[in-house]
Chains A and B, each alone.
Chain A
Amino acid sequence: MNAGPEQGGGEHRTARDPEPVSEPLLEILDLRVGFSTAAGELKAVDGLSLALDRGQTLALVGESGCGKSVTALSILGLTRYEGGEVSGRVKLGGRDLVGLGEGELRRVRGDEIGIVFQDPLTSLHPLRTIGSQIAEAVRVHRTVGAGAARARATELLEEVGIPEPERRLGAYPHELSGGMRQRAMIAIALANEPRLLIADEPTTALDVTVQAQILALLDRLRRELGMALLLITHDLAVVAEVADEVAVMYAGRIVERGPVERVFADPQHPYTWGLLGSVPRPDRPPPPRLAQIGGQPPSLVSPPAGCHFRPRCPHEFGRCVEVPGLDPRSGDSRHLDRCWLEPERKRELRAAGDGRIGLEARG
């Protein structure tokens, strides 16, 4: 990561978003998403709560399969199509989306909330032009003519930094490079200037050189449009660059949440240590002790009782069979975690020599 012009922080609110900060833009309370499988109910999201203020960036971090994408889809009610059973509340500007009917929810999607998916090649319709796909996003929510929608599409392409936007309107996804495709995808998500933009691993499928550009673009747009950004990623380097807050997810639950500088400086959960320890640092040789986190994530159909990370945790002890609550334990009320270890003990255990943080290999 070498781009990222300005690091996250709450100071970037723009004039376009003048309402007072009385309640968060997005508030998720005790979200549970289950899928029925042959083996039993798969609890993809198991009691997740978080909040995101206007104009803020929240990074949701975790290994693949931990439930972060499902969370994103559930906000938009898209898990319904995959047979997901959703409970809890997802409040956008105070309105609960979980209980909305299909018709009302549809009006929220793409209008109040935009979303960018991981792989732009598969996420764009291969048989339709970029222009028609952007224009459609506009026309679904606005009564505008084809010409106006087209003009808006051009404008959007320009805004996301696609050169010769007029000409690109007629292009098909396969005719664009990966980065350009993702810009087009972002243009679709921005079509109606949403209040919340969800970016689900927006750079994973892209070349390393392009990743930074896309990330910078998202961050710029967020600022210019005053959107809140829910950034889903497994890349902590990305988090450090753009997020205000970070929530670490493990096996359907948030295990640690807090302002990004707090979590990075004083990580509380052994899983977070593992993640931090696994961030590649090209500037330094990999230390021998800081290996990948051993073992496999648990089955979400029959997760272990208590702390879900228990089977992989080298520091597991008796109390871990009880579910730890997501509480402030480090002394900072904004910094919450789910680990029974004493804060002092944590500081000892996470030190990987030479001042860095890491998770001891188990066994």
Chain B
Amino acid sequence: MARFVVRRLLAALALLVVVSAVVFAIFNLLPAADPAELRAGKRASPEQIEEVRQTYGLDDPVLVRFGRYMAGVFTPFEGGPLNLGTSIFSDNEPVLEIVLDRLPATIFLVAGAVVLWIGIAIPVGVISAVRRRSLLDRATMIATLAFISAPVFWLGLVALYLLADDVGLVSVFPGIGAYNDAEGLLAKAWALVLPWTVLALATAAIYARYVRSEMIDVMGEDYIRTARAKGVPERQVILRHGLRSAITPVVTLLGLDVGLLLAGNAILTESVFNVPGVGREVVDAIGRSDYELIQGIVLFGAFFIIAFNLVVDVLYTYLDPRVRRR
């Protein structure tokens, strides 16, 4: 097991190096706006642009910059490890600091949404699997269709215009920007009720359908019949035998989704509700062509995706003993 984890860790690290290289290439080789020129201002002379280029080390050959970047990220040299460079705007803040400053909001947002959607999806999925074609089953089917086809952005705005205490018809929940204003964990949590709900609803609907179909499959398995034949009460058959199996692929999916969300898939929710997370930051960074920052955030995103893949793999061996021996 330890060997498996170590092997996967090494593979993940190698992947991260490759991703860093690709990300660097995307932002430095492909034609894009010139950050030095943007930073220097609209009236800048060529000399000034050149100076900005030097200040930010943009004048060195690509390979040198690549080496410096990689060394900074992965080795103790060049201000590393984890030196992701410096934002050209935002008062020249180190990218790592910006990302770390934004991360808690994103994590809080994602974590709450995950708890909410899993808390909704599993009971609903299980009940609609067990009570197929019941009212609840049909209702979730319709809700799923609705939520899957509704863009999060739109859903967020609808929620705001209906329920937010600043722009809504009925003042119920804190609205846009409430997260920034809130002091303390509880107040922040309260401020995130709408974003959580919006982020969780669509996914909860998808997950409920997924849990449902997994459950339907599992409940048709021979070992469920065995459990019943043992005299296990039906509730336990569903939870300890059925759900135990159905949950395994759900965990895989969940791990990947959480990785993606942390990597920036929560962008829209963060934007709509002004939650100062990583996703919103990347929107701003793109608006300013702050490539150093975009690159850092993308790298962090890749890190999360890779990390959660790893977590899923390791977790899977615990959840499903059949893969453990490989």
Cβ–Cβ < 8 Å partners of B248 in chain A: 127
Separation in Å of the B274 CB from the closest CB of chain A? 43
A172 contact from B228, B232, B319, B321, Cβ within 8 A: B321
Known: A125-B245, A128-B244, A172-B322. A107 touches B231 (CB 8 A): yes
Per the 8 Å Cβ criterion, residues 205-251 of B in contact with A are 221-223, 225-234, 241, 244-245, 248
Mark each residue of chain A from 92 to 112: 1 if its CB lies under 8 Å from any CB of chain B, else 0: 000000000010001111110
Q: Does A317 contact B (CB under 8 A)?
A: no
Q: Please determine whether B241 and A125 come into contact, CB atoms closer than 8 angstroms.
A: yes
Q: Please determine whether A117 and B225 come into contact, CB atoms closer than 8 angstroms.
A: yes
B229 contact from A115, A126, A175, Cβ within 8 A: A115
Q: Please determine whether A125 and B232 come into contact, CB atoms closer than 8 angstroms.
A: no
A124 contact from B223, B320, B321, B325, Cβ within 8 A: B223
Q: Please determine whether B229 and A109 come into contact, CB atoms closer than 8 angstroms.
A: yes
Q: Please determine whether A123 and B222 come into contact, CB atoms closer than 8 angstroms.
A: yes
Taken together as a complex, chains A and B put the C-alpha atoms of A111 and B233 apart, in Å, by: 13
A108 contact from B226, B231, B245, Cβ within 8 A: B231
Q: Please determine whether B226 and A117 come into contact, CB atoms closer than 8 angstroms.
A: yes
Q: Which of A133-141, A304-312, A343-351 lies at the binding interface?
A: A133-141
Separation in Å of the A97 CB from the closest CB of chain B? 13
Chain B residue with the shortest CB-CB distance to A137? B230
Q: Does A76 contact B (CB under 8 A)?
A: yes
Cβ–Cβ < 8 Å partners of A76 in chain B: 228-229
Chain B interface secondary structure, helix, strand, loop or mixed?
helix
Q: Does A78 contact B (CB under 8 A)?
A: yes
Q: Please determine whether A102 and B241 come into contact, CB atoms closer than 8 angstroms.
A: no
Taken together as a complex, chains A and B put the C-alpha atoms of A81 and B130 apart, in Å, by: 10
Separation in Å of the B216 CB from the closest CB of chain A? 12
A125 contact from B223, B228, B229, B319, Cβ within 8 A: B223
Taken together as a complex, chains A and B put the C-alpha atoms of A19 and B32 apart, in Å, by: 92
Cβ–Cβ < 8 Å partners of B325 in chain A: 175
Known: A128-B244, A174-B321, A174-B322. A123 touches B223 (CB 8 A): yes
Taken together as a complex, chains A and B put the C-alpha atoms of A123 and B223 apart, in Å, by: 4
Cβ–Cβ < 8 Å partners of A136 in chain B: 230, 232
Q: Please determine whether B222 and A126 come into contact, CB atoms closer than 8 angstroms.
A: no
Q: Please determine whether B320 and A106 come into contact, CB atoms closer than 8 angstroms.
A: no
A127 contact from B228, B229, B233, B321, Cβ within 8 A: B321
Per the 8 Å Cβ criterion, residues 49-103 of A in contact with B are 73, 76, 78, 81, 102
Q: Please determine whether B228 and A122 come into contact, CB atoms closer than 8 angstroms.
A: no
Mark each residue of chain A from 166 to 189: 1 if its CB lies under 8 Å from any CB of chain B, else 0: 000000101100000000010011
Q: Please determine whether A106 and B322 come into contact, CB atoms closer than 8 angstroms.
A: no
A188 contact from B221, B225, B226, Cβ within 8 A: B226
Q: How large is the interface on B (under 10, 10 to 19, 20 to 34, 35 or more residues)?
A: 20 to 34
Taken together as a complex, chains A and B put the C-alpha atoms of A102 and B228 apart, in Å, by: 11
B244 contact from A73, A127, A137, Cβ within 8 A: A127
Taken together as a complex, chains A and B put the C-alpha atoms of A189 and B232 apart, in Å, by: 13
Cβ–Cβ < 8 Å partners of B227 in chain A: 125
Known: A126-B245, A174-B322. A102 touches B230 (CB 8 A): no
Cβ–Cβ < 8 Å partners of A188 in chain B: 226, 230
Chain B residue with the shortest CB-CB distance to A113? B229
Cβ–Cβ < 8 Å partners of A141 in chain B: 231
Q: Please determine whether B244 and A109 come into contact, CB atoms closer than 8 angstroms.
A: no
Q: Does A261 contact B (CB under 8 A)?
A: no
Q: Please determine whether B245 and A109 come into contact, CB atoms closer than 8 angstroms.
A: no
Which of B231, B234, B322 has most A Cβ within 10 Å? B231
A117 contact from B222, B232, B245, B322, Cβ within 8 A: B222
Q: Please determine whether B228 and A126 come into contact, CB atoms closer than 8 angstroms.
A: no
Mark each residue of chain B from 290 to 326: 1 if its CB lies under 8 Å from any CB of chain A, else 0: 0000000000000000000000000000011110010
Q: Does A159 contact B (CB under 8 A)?
A: no
Separation in Å of the B238 CB from the closest CB of chain A? 11
Cβ–Cβ < 8 Å partners of B245 in chain A: 125-127
Cβ–Cβ < 8 Å partners of B232 in chain A: 106, 110, 136, 140
Cβ–Cβ < 8 Å partners of A122 in chain B: 221-223
Known: A126-B245, A127-B244. A109 touches B228 (CB 8 A): yes
Separation in Å of the B242 CB from the closest CB of chain A? 10
Cβ–Cβ < 8 Å partners of B233 in chain A: 106, 140
Known: A172-B321, A172-B322, A174-B321. A124 touches B228 (CB 8 A): no
Taken together as a complex, chains A and B put the C-alpha atoms of A115 and B222 apart, in Å, by: 12
Taken together as a complex, chains A and B put the C-alpha atoms of A117 and B229 apart, in Å, by: 10
Chain B residue with the shortest CB-CB distance to A188? B230
Cβ–Cβ < 8 Å partners of B230 in chain A: 109-110, 136-137, 140, 188, 191
Cβ–Cβ < 8 Å partners of A137 in chain B: 230-231
Contacts beyond the supplied A73-B225, A124-B226: 12 A-B pairs with Cβ under 8 Å: A76-B228, A106-B231, A109-B230, A114-B229, A115-B229, A122-B221, A122-B222, A122-B223, A123-B226, A125-B223, A140-B232, A140-B233
24 contacts between A and B (CB under 8 A): A78-B225, A78-B228, A81-B228, A102-B234, A106-B232, A109-B228, A110-B232, A114-B229, A115-B229, A122-B221, A123-B222, A124-B223, A125-B244, A126-B321, A127-B319, A127-B322, A128-B244, A136-B230, A140-B230, A172-B321, A174-B321, A174-B322, A188-B226, A191-B230
8 A-B pairs with the lowest CB-CB distances in the bound complex, closest first: A110-B231, A110-B230, A109-B231, A122-B222, A123-B222, A125-B223, A172-B321, A137-B230
Q: A residues engaging B (CB < 8 A)? A: 73, 76, 78, 81, 102, 106-111, 114-115, 117, 119, 122-128, 136-137, 140-141, 172, 174-175, 185, 188-189, 191
